[in-house]
Amino acid sequence: MPNPEHLVPPAVAISGGEPAAAPLPMQWPVTAVRGVGSERAKLLAKLDIHTVEDLLLHKPRRYEDRRKFLPIRDLKLKEAATVRGKIVAAGVKRWKRGERAMFECVFDDGTARLHCRWWQAQPWMEDWYAVNREFLVYGKPDSLKPRNIDHPETELVEPGEDEFIHVNRIVPVHALTDGLTARVVRTLVWQALEQFEAQVPEPAWGHLPAVGSALSPTPGKTPARDLPFLTGLPTRANAVHMVHFPEELTDVEIGRQRLALDEFTALQIQIQSRRKKFEVNARALPCGGDNRLMKPFLAALGFKLTGAQTSVLREIRADLGGEHPMRRLLQGDVGSGKTAVAACSALMALEGGFNVALMAPTEILAEQHFRNFQKWFTPLGINLALQTGSQKTENAAPTGADKAGTLYIGTHALLTGGFELPQLGLVIIDEQHKFGVTQREALVRKGNYPHLLVMTATPIPRTLGLTLYGDLDVSVIDELPAGRGSIKTFVRTTEKLPKVFEFIREKITAGRQAYIVYPRVDVADTDKDIKAVTKEFETVKKALAPFQAGLLHGRIKPAEKELVMAAFRANKIQALVATSLIEVGVDVPNATVMLIENAEHFGLAQLHQLRGRIGRGAHESFCILISDALTDEAQARLKILADTTDGFKIAEADLKLRGPGELLGQRQSGSMRLRFGNLAEDLNLIRQARVLAAKILA
């Protein structure tokens, strides 16, 4: 599996020190902890715990305040709580002979009784939950008459020394696996702290508070989770202790932040040193340009660049004429006009006598770019070559007398081993989030330190931007071209579909076009509740006849895809029935309706991209999300989309709801293993880590 180098987890780095002959205690196998034999080591390995450090950094899932238990009498319906009681009755209940059996026991703490049930009785239960044994019981009562909790978490109270670890304090409840109870894991962590806490080293870059001013919070912008800087940071050893056995619950967050800061700092050091190394080694190719192609291009373009486009181009021009090769991320919401910026950047490099490569994630998008650039560039005497999986190097002969270089456009087929990109001055990657860092670097390596411009419409929350793209400079197009119609978004249930199709007919009759999107290609791929495009195509055709509908999905042959797209562009097809294949880049300004069925099956960022296909012309546009999903999460997500068209807000909300997986796109998320850092919340810590990393490297 490709593993982008700068995302390698910092697990080792934070153990500090030069590589020594003998491994540090932190790297010792977990069997060094008393109480861990080969059997337990095997179980711990299932939790990805292999070393002493892994165990010490095993993050608790939650905490229980066992300094005070709730009297059973005071249990409230559906409110999780811990009680402490003695078993007064227990036994197996069987409905019929040989049928499923249930185990039930009754706890009493002197204030009231609590019934607990396990729906699958296990053979060991009768011995374990024996009358007179005392247990801690954690769970949510599902009834109060009688008081009952099904499948509670329980822990045996053993009188004696253990009292200190498991009760009379705030205790951690860790992630568990079969065969390892909360009590066992807690004991092992406790033991590991006893043996090794004093040997938890500060990171190789030294004790953090010594860096001082780097850690002052941003004035006026201090979120609740921020560190109490005035009292200083705990040492790493203290922080590890605090996250497992805090004195007060507030300690947990302080310890977590310290450990998260270490993780982010290690990550930033990797990112920044990579960039440094690159700057030392690489001399920039002179691609600043002289406007000889740019001038006629802008004159023929048909619109004036927006202020945001212009200022981004100023930054890019400075880079292209600068000392070090450009490494720039261009972020701009869907429809903000990144393609025109890419074209201008390409012209600068072409003016300098260099060739340019532009890589897009799908054939449809590569072909669309090819057509646009052909229209723009061929009159200027620039060569164009297309390289996709199905179409190789279709050359458009230059018409101008003064031949300028070549613009290569393609998919990842550009990366093919034998395919040469001579005199490469600039690499442009469109919809970067669809590629891995490895692919980006593979294209760059086809040249001799060419300039790099990566573009993405997926608005990346600042936290992720600084982490994932920390080695890139960032430009933002924060303004849409004027004269765009607004987009209205509605969430509806399938019941309303007939009305929705009536509405689409109206719009088509008025001359507009529509996209209709389904999550799946084929019914065979899916359960019956998720609609598939091949099946629904027939329904849509009937519903919209005599207007024409076209079908587009990943399993259609490229040549046919191209025909369908061409027909849609020419308005010979009024409705394009498709999968999320059309999510990136497709630009048909006359299309003003986006209908998405089973909307709950798409990520928020993806829905936002899909919606970005409309609202590209002057007409008012409509996005209709169909979903029968009833869960709070699904409803909340769709509501965010209905409430805002601001891509950054959507991305941030998505990050909070679903974690970084979707935003990072394929693969990249898996390799970013943060134990304590939270990419959705820790913007301040990430900022501090950047400053720290810069100081450390200086």
**161 CB burial (10 A radius; 0-12, 13-18, 19+):** exposed
| Closest to Mg ion by CB, 251 or 367 | 367
Q: Are 523 and 537 in contact (CB under 8 A)?
A: no
Among 85, 325, 337, 647, binds ligand ADP (CB under 6 A): 337
Contacts of 596 (CB under 8 A, 6+ apart): 517, 602, 607, 610, 623, 624, 625, 626
For Mg ion, the closer of residues 84 and 569 by Cβ is: 569
- Min dist CB 691 to Mg ion, Å, is 33
Task: Tell me the closest approach of the beta carbon of residue 585 to Mg ion, in angstroms.
Answer: 4
Site for ligand ADP in 565-604 (CB under 6 A): 587, 589
CA distances from 503 to 588, 594, 658 (A): 20, 12, 33
Rank residues 85 and 585 by Cβ distance to Mg ion and give the closer one: 585
Tell the smallest beta-carbon distance from residue 648 to Mg ion (Å).
17
Question: What single string gives the DSSP state of each residue in 382-425?
Answer: EEEEEE-SS-B--PBPP-SSS-EEEEEEESGGGG-TT---TTEE
- One-letter amino acid at 402 equals D
CA torsion 390→393→399→402, rounded to 10°? 150
Task: Single out the segment in contact with ligand ADP by CB under 6 A; choices: 106-114, 232-240, 265-273, 332-340.
Answer: 332-340
Residues in the site for Mg ion, rule: CB under 5 A?
585
Which residue lies nearer to Mg ion by CB, 10 or 585? Answer: 585
Q: Is the Cβ of residue 334 or residue 460 nearer to ligand ADP in the bound state?
A: 334
The residue range among 9-17, 329-337, 418-426, 444-452 that interacts with ligand ADP, by the rule CB under 6 A, is 329-337
Interface with ligand ADP in residues 476-495 (CB under 6 A): 481
Closer residue to ligand ADP (CB): 47 or 298: 298
172 binds ligand ADP (CB under 6 A): no
The residue count for binding ligand ADP (CB under 6 A) is 18
Q: 270, 336, 668, 688: which one contacts ligand ADP (CB under 6 A)?
A: 336
Nearest to 163 by CA among 67, 243, 242: 67
Q: Which residue is nearest to Mg ion (CB)?
A: 585
Residue nearest to ligand ADP (CB): 337
Is residue 334 near ligand ADP by the rule CB under 6 A? yes
Quote the least distance from Cβ 386 to ligand ADP, whole Å: 18
Residue 336 interacts, among ligand ADP, Mg ion, none and using kind-specific CB cut-offs from 5 to 8 Å, with ligand ADP
282 binds ligand ADP (CB under 6 A): no
Question: Using CB atoms within 10 A of its CB, is residue 479 exposed (0-12), middle (13-18) or buried (19+)?
Answer: middle
C-alpha span between 418 and 339 (Å, rounded): 28
Q: Does 677 bind ligand ADP (CB under 6 A)?
A: no
Nearest C-alpha neighbor of 427 from the set 413, 441, 417, 416: 441
Binding partner of residue 405 among ligand ADP, Mg ion, none, CB cut-off 5 to 8 Å per kind: none
C-alpha to C-alpha distance for 617 and 512, rounded to whole angstroms: 10
The 3-state DSSP class for residue 578 equals strand
**Helix (H) and strand (E) counts for the chain?**
22, 22
Tokens of residue 462, six digits: 């600042």
Selection from ligand ADP, Mg ion, none that 309 binds (CB < 5 to 8 A by kind) is ligand ADP
CA distance from start to end of the chain: 33
151 binds, among Mg ion, ligand ADP, none (CB under 5 to 8 A by kind): none
Residues near ligand ADP (CB under 6 A): 303-306, 309, 332, 334-340, 457, 481, 587, 589, 616
